[in-house]
Amino acid sequence: MVATLLITWAASSHSIHTGVGIGRSRVQHFLYASLSNPLTTPRRKGGGWSSNQLFCTASLIVNRNNSQGKKRNPAKPVDKSKINSNVSPHRAASAVRLLRIEQGGAFADLLNADYRESAIDDEMDYIQRTLGFRTNPLDARNTRLVTDIVAGVVRWKRYLDYLIFSLYDGAKNVKDMEPLLQQILRIGVYEIVKLGMPPYAVVNENVTLARAALRAGAGNMVNGILRRVASDREKDMLPLPKVEGDDRSKARALSVKYSHPVWMIRRWMTYLGQEGAIQLMEWNNSPPSFSLRANSGRGVSRDDLVLLLKKLNVQHELSPHMTEFVRLSTGLQSVIQAGLLKEGMCAVQDEGAGLVVSVVDPQPGETIIDCCAAPGGKALFMASRLQGQGSVIAIDVNQGRLRVLEEAAKVQALEGVVNACQDDIRSFAVGASIRADKVLLDAPCSGLGVLCKKPDMRWKRTLKDLEQLILLQDELLDAASLLVKPGGILVYSTCSVDPGENKERVESFLTRHPV
C-alpha cells in the first residue's frame, strides 16, 4: 500500500516553535521533512509509511460551550423576589460560577460564546440558590466582566492563592478555607493585581459581597487582605517565590509565578528548557482571541463577512493565512446577538483548525472520513471545500454531539455533503469496506495546546491522563490507517503541544508500520 501520512500538531494560537522557546510569530506552521470550614476573622501576616512523507502543521481547536452544568449548589429557601441592589452583579455571578467550576459543574468560558437571555437567567437563578438573594440583572457589560474575571481567576488561581495565604495565617491551604470566601478573595486580588482596577472600588464591592453572602466577619477579612494586597502592589512588594535550586524546586516556584501545575512545567522544561517553558506559560496566560470563518456553503465570502462586522462595529483583522477567516479579540457577543451564527453566515473556528483542513486539502469529488468528528468544525469546513461534490463521513462515538454536527450542517447548507455515523472508529475500521481518498484523525488529546482558551484545562489534566491518552491515540491511528485507500492521505492532528502526543506517536506508528 502506498499512501501519504500527514501529522498535524495543534499549538497555542499564532505561535511557532523557534528553537528553545515558543515565539509569538503570526506564522502558525511546523514543518518536519523527516521524523526528528467556616473561618474567623484572620490575623494579618506579612501498511508501509515513509518517514520522508511526514509533514507537521499547527492546529488549534475551539472549545464547544455548554450552557448547562452538571451540578447545582444546594438551594437556600429565600423570597424569589428579593433583590440585593447593593451587591455588584458581575462579582456575585463570578463568585458563583467559580464555585461551580471548582465543583465540576460549569466551564470557565460559558458566557463568552453563549450570550443568550436564557443563559443569563440561569446565572441569576444560580446566584439566588447559592447566595440566598438575587442581584440586579447582568447586562452586556457585566456579562463580559464575568467572562473575563472568571477565566482570569481560573487561569491565575495558584498565584492568587499564594498571595492570599501569604497574608493570612488562619487556614494553611486551600482546602481549609471556606469555598465561597476563597472565590471572593480570588476575585478581589485578581481585580487589583491583574486587571489594575481602582483598589477602593474593588475592596468596597467585594467586602459588600462577603458580608451579604456570608457574614460581617468575612467582610472584615476580605477588607484586610485586599487592602494589604493593594498596598503591597503599589509599593511593588508583592511576595513571589525565588526560582532557584534543583529542577523540582524551580518548577514549584514557576508553578506559583505562572500558575501552572508542577508536572506540566517539569515536562515542558525537559522538552523546551526553562526559558521555553516560561514562554509557553506566558502564552497560555495571555488573553485569547477568536476567529470567524465565512461560510462558503451559503455563498458568504470573507468580504461579505467583513461588511457585516463593520455594520456591527466589531473590531477585526483579516487572517494572513486562511482566506475564509477573520480574527476577533472582542465583539463575539455582538456577532451572536445579530444572528450571524444562527443564520449560517459564519462559524466560530480558529485558524489552526482551518490549517488542519488546508493540509487535508479537500477537492470536489473526494470521499473524506473524519474519524473523531464531533462537534464537527473541521468536518463542516472540509464539506464546504467540496463545493457540493463528494462526501465527508463524520464518525464519532457520541450521538448527542453528532446531532449538534447535523444541525450545524443544516444551518450551513451542507447537509447533503456531511454524513454522520455513530461508531467507534476502532470497530468501524475493522469491518468497513469503504476506503477514502483522505482520512482525518483529530485525536482525543490532553489539550495542552489550547490552555489559553481553556484556562480550566490545566487544573483538570494529570500525567496519568496523558499516559492513557497516548495509548488511545496509537489505537485510533492504527484504525484510521485501515480506511485510507492506496495512494490516499492520512492526516493526524491534536490540540496538544506535547511531543509525546505528536512526534513520538508518529515515530511509534512508523515503527509498527514499516516501509
pTM: 0.80
Of 19, 32, 10, 59, give the one whose Cα is nearest residue 510. Answer: 32
How many residues are present in the chain? Answer: 515
CATH fold of 288-348 reads Alpha-Beta Plaits (3.30.70)
Give CA–CA dist 222/465, Å, rounded: 37
Q: Does domain 89-235 have CATH number 1.20.58.2240?
A: no
Residue 95 in marked binding region: no
Residue 121 in marked binding region: no
Cβ atoms of residues 111 and 138 within 8 Å: no
Give CA–CA dist 186/151, Å, rounded: 12
Going residue by residue through the chain (515 aa), what tens digit of pLDDT does each one get? 334 455 444 433 333 232 223 232 222 222 222 222 223 333 333 344 433 333 332 222 222 233 334 444 444 444 555 789 999 999 999 999 999 998 876 666 544 444 456 667 778 888 988 999 999 988 888 888 998 999 999 999 999 999 999 888 766 666 778 999 999 999 999 999 999 999 999 999 999 999 999 999 999 999 999 999 999 999 999 999 999 999 999 999 999 999 999 999 999 999 999 999 999 999 999 988 889 999 998 899 999 999 999 999 999 999 999 999 999 988 888 898 899 999 999 999 989 999 999 999 999 999 999 999 999 999 999 999 999 999 999 999 999 999 999 999 999 999 999 999 999 999 999 988 999 999 999 999 999 999 999 999 999 999 999 999 999 999 999 999 999 999 999 999 999 999 999 999 999 999 999 87
Q: Which residues are catalytic?
A: 495
Residue 383 in marked binding region: no
Residue 378 in marked binding region: yes
What is the per-residue DSSP string for 36-75?
Answer: ----PPPPB------GGG-EEEEE-PPPPP-S--S--PPP
Quote the cell numbers at residue 352.
489552526
Residue 375 in marked binding region: yes
Give CA–CA dist 11/58, Å, rounded: 6
Quote the cell numbers at residue 379.
468536518
Residue 176 in marked binding region: no
Residue 423 in marked binding region: yes
Domain chopping of the chain, boundaries: 89-235, 247-284, 288-348, 352-512
Q: What pLDDT is attached to residue 114?
A: 46
Q: What pLDDT is attached to residue 109?
A: 55
Q: What pLDDT is attached to residue 331?
A: 87
Four-point Cα dihedral 114, 301, 437, 31, nearest 10: -80
3-state secondary structure 129-190: HHHCCECCCCCHHHHHHHHHHHHHHHHHHHHHHHHHHHCECCCCCHHHCCHHHHHHHHHHHH
3-state secondary structure 436-493: EEEEEEECCCCCCCCCCCCCCHHHHCCHHHHHHHHHHHHHHHHHHHCCEEEEEEEEEE
Residues contacting residue 434 through CB under 8 Å, at least 6 positions apart: 367, 369, 393, 483
R_g (Cα) of the chain, nearest Å: 24
Q: What pLDDT is attached to residue 124?
A: 83
Residue 125 in marked binding region: no
Cβ atoms of residues 73 and 95 within 8 Å: no
Q: What pLDDT is attached to residue 126?
A: 86
Residue 377 in marked binding region: yes
**Assigned CATH for 352-512:** 3.40.50.150
Q: What is the pLDDT of residues 410-453, one digit of tens each?
A: 999 999 999 999 999 999 999 889 999 999 999 999 999 999 99
